[in-house]
Every structure is written in C-alpha cells, then in structure tokens.
Structure 1
C-alpha cells in the first residue's frame, strides 16, 4: 500500500528549493511504483499501470526509447508518483503525453528542460508541441487539460517564481456519433459492423471444431448476448451462469458480471432465445480450461513444487532437489525437438539447450536444474500480479476462471505446457477477428467473407457498439441500456448510438404528440398541471402530493392541515393512477389501526382518547370513501375527486356557524355522501 503524503510548499524559500523538496518527498517517502529502488529506472510498473519516461524529441518505439532530459525527468517522476498516490488510475498515458510536451517546449524555448524556467511562452509552445506530436483532437483536448493541471500545480507549489494562469486552447472534440456531416457518417460506418459480419461470428461458433475456434468463438458469443467489454468476459468465473424467477414465475438466465470503469458487480440478463447458446459457450470454455485450472490449483496448494505430468520421464522416487538430465528437463517443460542427440556430454547438451531460448538459459545458467527450481519458475511465470486472483478486484481465483487455458493449448504447432495456465489477452482475441498478429482469422479459416468478397475484419468493441445500437433501434430506454451494458453513467450511451440522423428523427416523431396530454397522463408522468385544469380560477401550477395534487394558495397562507391531505378541500385525487391508489390503501390501513388503538385507550378510560376516536373516524371515513371512489369502475379514468366544501370549513366559517350566521351542520357526518355515511354507521346504504 502506497503512503499518501501531501506536499506543502514553504513561502519563505525560493522556487528551486520547493522543487527540490517536492522531488525528495516523492522519491523517499512515497512507495507506489516500487519505492526508492525503482526511481532510477525509466520504466515503472504498478499492476497493469505502466509508465515510460521517454521523450518525444527522439525516435520512440515499443523496443527502444530515449529518456526525458534532466532535470525535468526528476520532476516528471515525482509528479507522476505523487499524483498516482492520490488518484490511482489504470492508464497514465495522458499524464506522460503532457509531460513530454512540456519537456519539448522547455528545450525549444530555453535550451534546457528545467521546470523553474516555465513561463507563458513555454506554456503556449507546449500546446503547439501537443499538436505536433499527436493527431487526434480528442488527445489534444485531454492532454491539454492535463498540461493545465500541471501548470496550476507548479504555480500553487511555488516551483516557479511567477507563473501566470493558463487555460488549454483545445476544445472538447465533437461526439462523432451525433455529427451530421461526413465525419459523423464515416465514424458510424467504421464503428458499426454489418449484420452479415455479426452473423459470420455466429457461423464460426456453429462450425467450430478445433480448440482455437471453439475457445475464441465462445468468448465472442458471450460478447454478443449482452453489451460488454472483452476484458470483462476474460475475467468471468466458471460458475458465471445464474437463474432467477421473474414476476410471472418464469426462470430467467443471467451472467454474474463485473463491469469495468467503476460500474462493479452486476447481472447481465440473457434473452430466452440465447440461453442455450450461452450454456454451450460456457460448457466449451469450461471443458477447454479444466487442465489449466488443475495446474493453477496445484501451484497454489503446493507453492514451489513442480506438477508432475504424464510426459515426465524421471523414474519414480526422484527427489524435487535431485539434478535433472537434459532429457528429463525437456520432457518436463514440454520442449520438442532432439536438441541433445548429436551431443554426447551432458554439459554440452546444456550449452546447446541454453541457446534455444532466454528462459531456458536463465534456468540452466548454473548447469543444475531441479524440479524445485522448475516449480518456482512456473509459479513466477504464470501467477500474475494479482495471484491467486486474476482480477484487480480480487474476486475470481485463477483456478475458478472460465477463460483459463494452458500455454500453447490453442497453437497449431507448439506442444502444450502441461503445467501452465493463462488467459488470452484482448489483443489475442482481436487478432482472431482479422487483426494483423496472425495470418489467418477465424473467418478466413471457415471460408467466411463479406458479400463483396473482401475479408471480414472486426474488433471486440464493435460487438458492444452493435448491440447498443440495435437496442436503441428497438426502443430500449437509456437507463435500462446503461444497466445492461454495465455503464456507470447513462450519458455514455450516446457514444455507442450509431443510428443515422434520419433514424433519430423518425424515433422523435414516433413519440411526438399533436395534442396536450390529459391531466391523468401528466400526473402519472409527474408533469405540470395548472390550477385551472383542476377547477381553481387561479394562475399557477398545482403541487404534487403522495395522494394527488394540492391547489392551496401558499402565497396567502402556509398549509393549515399539517399535510392531512385526505381531509382537505384543496386536495384533488385523480382516478386511474395505481400508485396513488396503493398509497391510499396503505393510509387506510394505518388509520384503521390508529382508530383501534384509540378505541382501546377509550375503553381503558384514558383521558382525551374519545377525541382521538372521533378524529380517526372522521379521517378514516374520508380515506375509505376516496378509495372506494377510485376503485369504482363506473367512475372514468382521469376524473378529479375532492371532498365536499362543507367537510372542511375554514376558521371563519366555524365562527359563523357558532353564531348561526350560516347554516350549521348538526354533526360532521350529516353532510357526508351516502358512501361515507354507510362506512361510519350513520346512514342506511
């Protein structure tokens, strides 16, 4: 676990001392990326995060690079370690892009790469270097934001005596899925595979006979049944299939899924038509990976011990620490070829073997190899960073992984490493879809091409784009689609929606209405309803309540009922909303329970209980009458229902009643509708 240290600059020292102290803190007190022993290296790795401190002012490739110039390189290492300690990320590519641009700008403007020489001209040149080094507008925008953050950090940390504020000149690129021009059309065509290409994937799965086709086509099938990322499929457990009953009692299948990019654990529901296909894909992957799971479990249960397999030729009773002959070594490690036949001495045989591969030379460098050494080599080679798990979340053990297989298991020529276990990478899956890493894709192997005869080339992420677009065309709502696709943010759907502008327009027209929706429709969808539509001659919009809508004028006085809406003349219920009816049923039961408790208290002679009995009877009568009206089939949906005016007299009306200035009600129930009288026992219904 890395230490979290906050750097606090000192105002009383100069910029150079602040910079030196910052670099010292990052180098000596932070532990991420290997603490002090990794500082001098120009290539850092922490889990799957790799940082290469290379410059863009010299040729850069996957095999060679020139480090950043000093003293800027020391600042770059300190900044990256410090930022990563506070906010770990999977990729630091944009951080490194920004640092490379700043280094190149310092060299151009000042002739040396020193952070203390930062000024406005250097910052502007950094933006120019970003345009020079990279071609994508999206990369410009994201790299520019990181450069802006770095400059702000330098200013706040007082690494520069005076540094003005700087804002990135790069605007956020247009979302091409929504672009109406030629770029948008080209983007949608490139990202969205054709239906013929998707059917070709299904054909490969159906026709697969060799292990390689079965393995990779099964992974593709799991990507086709629900929108997902290939990295998520590769981390599935072997018991990923689950079943649950729906509201109709039908068993529905789902996959136990862990979505990337912050979504976490979720369920991927599978359409009934695809359930048997998913079961077959999981069965194939489980069968292919069984020997690899056994090897991984053996390595975990027996750390440092080599798993003896049928190809081993050592005699029974051979000790793990006994030296192996070249023949025994080759048999144990699955090395094919008679490398030792033409050489008589064992020493010469070892020398010849060391020339075959670097890993062999590393094992036999001392001329003695034992099964114990092989066991340590196997664990070191195949365990991975998260051992004994396969994922950063540490939820799936290696011997429980669905997509596990042995090394060379899927190779046409090389022999299988009986003791090994591994999982295919995203690049290897993409290569089978027509990538450049292999000569023959799965489509070519099965004689499948486009209708025009050209090769089919796909990527795994195109399957995700295709499913999302098809879901949009079928009318799936944004929230459901985001949940199904494992997206943490609903707004991300727009990047996967490749419908044409015409399709979007047709979808908008389909939901457009020519006339204003009814009061019921707007009430159910929580849209505004005016006072006039509820029979009140006043400008404004009614307030929604748990049971309907309130027409009280809050500009004149606050609520006088303390939210006792069901006995208020200003409250309106709308027939036809089942949610409102369910809430009224709950309120009726609660009020009935309170009435029973008040009656029990009255029987026990508790002072004031009789008043509560009257209060609860009065409220229950109104609630039941409203519920009966809402359930009455003769009352049309959309009808507006409220209690009579006389059931809720104002304070002034009560005084006038006492003075006999207005007609008085003998009792609250004497003016109730016949339904309410029957409920309270005061009438004959």
Structure 2
C-alpha cells in the first residue's frame, strides 16, 4: 500500500525555515539578557542585565518577563508555535530598550496567542490578517476604554516584522492595528465620576496627609510624608522624585523682590531635565520637607562615599569604629552593627539568611564556669555586608550620572523594616523604592501593610489610601480650573506634548458652568453675546447668569449650554452654527477640531463652487451655506489664536443664518396668511416662508 506524501508549498516551507533560523539565531548566538539566559524558560529574570546598565527599574525591584497568559487568566504558557518566536523577538528587538518596552509586547503576544488558539493554527507561519484582527479584538475587549493603542501599535509592528522577514505564508499587506475612534469623554455621568474618584485623591486622604506630615515621629513616617509633601508641590512622576539629587534646590530672586524656590527635576517620557518652580504658598513646606529628608538620609550618603573610597572594607559609624580592631565579634556586637533587635534569636535569624558561618569562643559563666559561646569572625561579617552593595555601584542613575552618594533618597538599609531603633542598618545603605511609598499610602492593604495614617494614629481603621500618581492628576486639575495655559500645564508637568494634558483634566461640569457664568457680562472673560447683559434687568447679574447658562456638557469643540430638560437638541449637532454653544480658549484638542472643521468646510465650498461652474441646479445655495460656515470658523479661529485673548475666555457664537426647529416653526406660524417677511431676533432670512 502506497503512503501519502503531504505536499507543502515552497513559500510555506521557506517561511518555516526562515522562522526556525531566526529563533535559533536568537537562542544560540545572541547574548542580550546575558549569555547564561535560559532561553526555553517561561520566566526570564533580567534584573541583573538592567542593573549592569544602571537602569533605575532594576534598582526599584526585580525585572522579569513572563511568556504566558496573565495569572488571573490562568497563567497558561504560550503555545509552542508562538513561544519560541516571542522569546526571539523580545531578545533580538527589545533588549537594548527600556525595561518597560516589552510590557506592551507581551500584552500583544498574549492576544495573538489567544487568537491562534481559537483558530487552531498548527504553525505560526499560517497567521494571516484574520488572526491579527482577532488579536486586536482581544486587546480591545480587555480594556475599560475599549481600546489599547500602546499594545495595539506593537501588535502591528510584530505583524510587519513577520511579513518583511518572510515568517508568514500569506502576505499581511502592511497590517496595522485598527484603532477605534473614542468618543469625547464627557464631564457628567457615572463614568466621569468613576474616573475622577479613581484618579484623584480624596479630600479626606489629603487632609490626613497634612496631619501626618506634622505628626510623624518615626524616621520612615517622616520620610514618607516629606516625599508626599514634595509631590503635592509639583505634578511629577514618582520615578522622577526617586531620582532627585541631594542638591536639588534652586533659589532665585525675582524682579518683584521675592525669592522663589525651584527644584531640579530629571525629565522622563520624552521631556528634558528642567527646573520646577514651586508655588510660593508651598515653598516653606518643601524647604521643611527637604530638611527632614536630609536629616534621615545624610548617614546613607556618608556610607556611599566611604564605599566609593574603600569598596572592600566595612563602613562603621563613629560609635562602632572600635570594632574594626577586633577579629571576633559577639552576637551583641553584631546586632549593634546591623541595628537588629537586641535579641540573639534575631541575630541568628539574620545570620542564617546571609549564610554567615559561626565560630566559638571561650567565655566565663557565673555558674557553669568556662563555656563555649557563638561568635562571628569580623572578616565574615565584612564580606557579607560589603556584598550587599547594589549592582552598578557607585552609579545610581546611569543616564544622568547620578551617584548613590549624591541621591536625595539614599537611606540606611532596612529603614522600612522592623529592626532595632527604626533607623536602619548603620553600615549599609539602599534607596527608597516605589513599594516603600506605595505600601505606606495603602496600596498593599491586602498583605496587611500598615499605612502611614495608621502608624501616626490618624486612621486606626485603615480606611484611607491613595496612589502617588493621584497627586499629578490633582495638581493638573487645579491648574485646569485656574485657566493656566495648556503650554504652561505641559511644561509644569514635564510633558513633551500638550495633548497629554487631557487625560489629567478632571474639572467637573459644575465647575465649568460656574466659570462660564462668571464670564457673563464681563468683557475681559467673554466674547460675544455672553459679554452683553441687557440694561435695566429686574434681576441680579448672578440670577441672569443662572438663566443664561442653566447647564453645560462637553462637545467636540467646547460646551453646550442648551437646557435639555425643556427640549432636545434642535440643531442636529451642528454645534458650530448654534448660539447655545460656548468655546473656551486653551482646552487641548478643541482648537484642532475647529481647524479640521474649517478644512472640511473649505473643501465643501470648493466643490460647491465647481458645481456652480458646471451649472448644477441649486449649487448657488450650497456656496452661500458653505461660505457662511467658512467665515464663521475663520473668525472663531482668529479669536482662539489671538494672543490678547486670555486662556479660559468663554467665546459664544453670534447669530447665524440657521435656526432651530422651534424657531422655524415660529417663523412659519408668523408668516401664515401674510405676504410680509418676519424676522426672529438675531436671524435673517432670504424670503418669507409660505
């Protein structure tokens, strides 16, 4: 009986060969992440690799790469047909980038793994656009906002990489992640309130933090509250706070004779290093916070300077220098060196953890006479503690050349542990890590970590918590509410683009309505009908403002003040032709949309004029309509671009040649049975309606 020989297309066979060669090259020839890397493992610990490069993430904790689904999704390893390629891609394409670069790549691979599994592909070379489209759907389904642009962009890069290198049988035709167009986020409703609560610190937590700053006594509590005081003074990221140099202050005398305080910040996410000027009301708080931090961290920097000069010798504080001449140390002397609890059990536990060998000496006992007691050689203790020096020492931040001896937040090792008098190890140092701050603010409640609020007695029930990034959202929202320009907000926050401001704007609709009402009748704050209040009104300005601006909700171009409790929108979302629409200068994204609307209107006008030239019926009316739209948008943009108009100014559109359904019905009713033309206030019509 003859056997069946499967025929494999040459293109597919070549793709299989290309893929196998790529994986073999990454596994056997590349040395990124270390030559000793276990390529076949599902978990790569690459902390040492990034530590050797002086990367800050490696100093804040372990850096690992998991080639499997998320733990809450079962933690299933990638399918064999994908696993090798994913590892080869990460090792060859992402090893020389930031440790955060492969986070989105792994998310993309997880979605691709799920898509391959659902379609039952036996080989990765069978991936086509359908597989990647399904992977894109998986990415979107796992995000609250219905889109994942970061991981989606990486998914597109992976698809093009496979196509360009001949790893797939069917061409992917330059496949890209199909982004969904997000609707403009409103300022009302449960979604907005949820976002605001999630991203902003609660007033109770902020008040408790101020109390804790004044009540803290223990070194670690003083340190945490001082760090958060600095974060309340400028909208910076936590990684930038952790990289502050010890000499970060800048004092400058201004033209008004006042002295202003600034801090030197290290930029990130595309922003350059910069000086952040502190608001005068927070300057004394920041000075006090920096002084408190230095009192706690000065000993750690002294240790770092010692180890820079003597990298193989144990540093001893002045009160313990006499121990350097001893060859043998007792357990009591060891707990002084390591600042452990005055208990031999604690010393033995510490030594077992460090695998420090014991020796024995003869001592005199009042009852038993001469006995053998446990002791330790000074050389063994010295070797163990010196071995605790962080990888990459003496450099803390390689990108900026910052040493441990220059870092503001270098601390005695074990300061955040429960040892000795709470001041940490007197012979070794470390740096404040993100989890030290996060746990103190309540981010590790499930593990039972006590918050700083509990430790100082403010929150005995453990109800208060906050995240470090909430300070950034809070300060940005305050700046938005104060009408600070978008350029100034971006600069103050250390951003490369003003468009990123939008994600940090949590000003409520009530606050927006209040700002618009304040602009009513004020020519300095409003342009258009809002600036004009009829004379001799039988009510106050505030009452008139409440009637003129009953409410406000977000539109693509600004805010609508139509009262929807009386009628629905009668302009069919033609916001830029509506008198009840308000544009506020300085809101990111709004002016760009007006510019796009103007470009679209100009294109429509050009087409209408061409139709007139072709003698199309009714084209003249379209030219008139589009010309009016173009003129209105040009006027609006000229106001938005006018430097004499302050950011935050409310701009109301003047009367137009369009009218709502109710106004049109009123015109019809007034003109019934008459031959004369009737005009509504602020309206013009070409002919009487009949």
TM-score of Structure 1 vs Structure 2, range by shorter chain: 0.5 to 0.7
- 2:102 is matched with 92
**C-alpha contact 2:140 2:146 (8 A) present in aligned 1:** no
What secondary structure is seen at the aligned counterpart in 2 of 1:267? strand
**C-alpha contact 1:293 1:400 (8 A) present in aligned 2:** yes
**Distance of aligned partners of 1:22 and 1:323 in 2 relative to their CA distance in 1, 3 Å threshold:** farther
Post-superposition offset of 1:158: 0.8
Q: 1:83 aligns with which of 93, 103, 109?
A: 93
What secondary structure is seen at the aligned counterpart in 2 of 1:101? helix
- 1:56 is matched with 69
Is 1:72 aligned to residue 79 of structure 2? no
**Distance of aligned partners of 1:497 and 1:376 in 2 relative to their CA distance in 1, 3 Å threshold:** farther
Q: Superposed, which structure 2 residues align to 1:530-679 within 5 Å?
A: none
Q: Distance in 1 between matches of 2:111 and 2:93?
A: 18
Post-superposition offset of 1:174: 5.2
Aligned length: 489
Moved more, 26-35 or 201-210: 26-35
What secondary structure is seen at the aligned counterpart in 1 of 2:413? coil
**C-alpha contact 2:136 2:177 (8 A) present in aligned 1:** yes
Is 1:101 aligned to residue 115 of structure 2? no
Post-superposition offset of 1:491: 1.3
What secondary structure is seen at the aligned counterpart in 1 of 2:266? strand
Is 1:198 aligned to residue 206 of structure 2? yes
- 2:54 is matched with none
Post-superposition offset of 1:218: 0.5
- 1:681 is matched with none
**C-alpha contact 1:432 1:442 (8 A) present in aligned 2:** yes
- 1:512 is matched with 526
Q: Distance in 2 between matches of 1:73 and 1:388?
A: 38
- 2:279 is matched with 271
- 1:534 is matched with none
What secondary structure is seen at the aligned counterpart in 2 of 1:259? coil
Is 1:22 aligned to residue 22 of structure 2? yes
Q: 1:117 aligns with which of 120, 126, 129?
A: 126
Is 1:381 aligned to residue 382 of structure 2? no
**Distance of aligned partners of 1:20 and 1:443 in 2 relative to their CA distance in 1, 3 Å threshold:** same
**C-alpha contact 1:405 1:422 (8 A) present in aligned 2:** yes
Q: 2:177 aligns with which of 162, 168, 193?
A: 168
**C-alpha contact 1:225 1:274 (8 A) present in aligned 2:** yes
Q: Distance in 2 between matches of 1:168 and 1:158?
A: 20
Is 1:144 aligned to residue 152 of structure 2? yes
Measured against aligned partners, the alpha-carbon deviations of 1:591-635 in whole angstroms (never above 9, x if no partner) come to xxxxxxxxxxxxxxxxxxxxxxxxxxxxxxxxxxxxxxxxxxxxx
Q: 1:260 aligns with which of 268, 278, 295?
A: 268
Q: 1:467 aligns with which of 475, 498, 515?
A: 475
- 2:44 is matched with 43
Moved more, 296-305 or 190-199: 190-199
What secondary structure is seen at the aligned counterpart in 2 of 1:381? coil
Post-superposition offset of 1:302: 1.0
Measured against aligned partners, the alpha-carbon deviations of 1:547-586 in whole angstroms (never above 9, x if no partner) come to xxxxxxxxxxxxxxxxxxxxxxxxxxxxxx999xxxxxxx
**Distance of aligned partners of 1:438 and 1:295 in 2 relative to their CA distance in 1, 3 Å threshold:** farther
Measured against aligned partners, the alpha-carbon deviations of 1:226-250 in whole angstroms (never above 9, x if no partner) come to 1112222222112111112223343
Which of 1 and 2 has greater Rg? 1
Give the unaligned 5+ runs of structure 1. 1-9, 342-351, 518-524, 528-576, 580-685
**C-alpha contact 1:305 1:372 (8 A) present in aligned 2:** no
Q: Superposed, which structure 2 residues align to 1:126-145 within 5 Å?
A: 126-127=135-136, 129-130=138-139, 134-137=142-145, 140-145=148-153
What secondary structure is seen at the aligned counterpart in 2 of 1:92? helix
- 1:208 is matched with 216
Report the TM-score, using the length of structure 2 for normalisation: 0.62
**C-alpha contact 2:454 2:462 (8 A) present in aligned 1:** no
**Distance of aligned partners of 1:369 and 1:73 in 2 relative to their CA distance in 1, 3 Å threshold:** farther
Q: Distance in 1 between matches of 2:280 and 2:45?
A: 47
- 1:227 is matched with 235
Is 1:397 aligned to residue 406 of structure 2? no
Q: Distance in 2 between matches of 1:479 and 1:466?
A: 18
Q: Which has the higher contact order (CA 8 A, sep 6+)?
A: 2
Q: 1:456 aligns with which of 464, 469, 473?
A: 464
Post-superposition offset of 1:288: 0.4
Q: Superposed, which structure 2 residues align to 1:254-333 within 5 Å?
A: 254-309=262-317, 317-318=325-326, 332-333=337-338
Post-superposition offset of 1:221: 0.7
Q: Distance in 2 between matches of 1:139 and 1:339?
A: 57
Q: Distance in 2 between matches of 1:338 and 1:224?
A: 41
- The CA RMSD over aligned residues, in Å, is 4.0
Q: Distance in 2 between matches of 1:272 and 1:516?
A: 35
Post-superposition offset of 1:265: 1.2
- 1:443 is matched with 453
Post-superposition offset of 1:409: 2.5
**Distance of aligned partners of 1:442 and 1:498 in 2 relative to their CA distance in 1, 3 Å threshold:** same
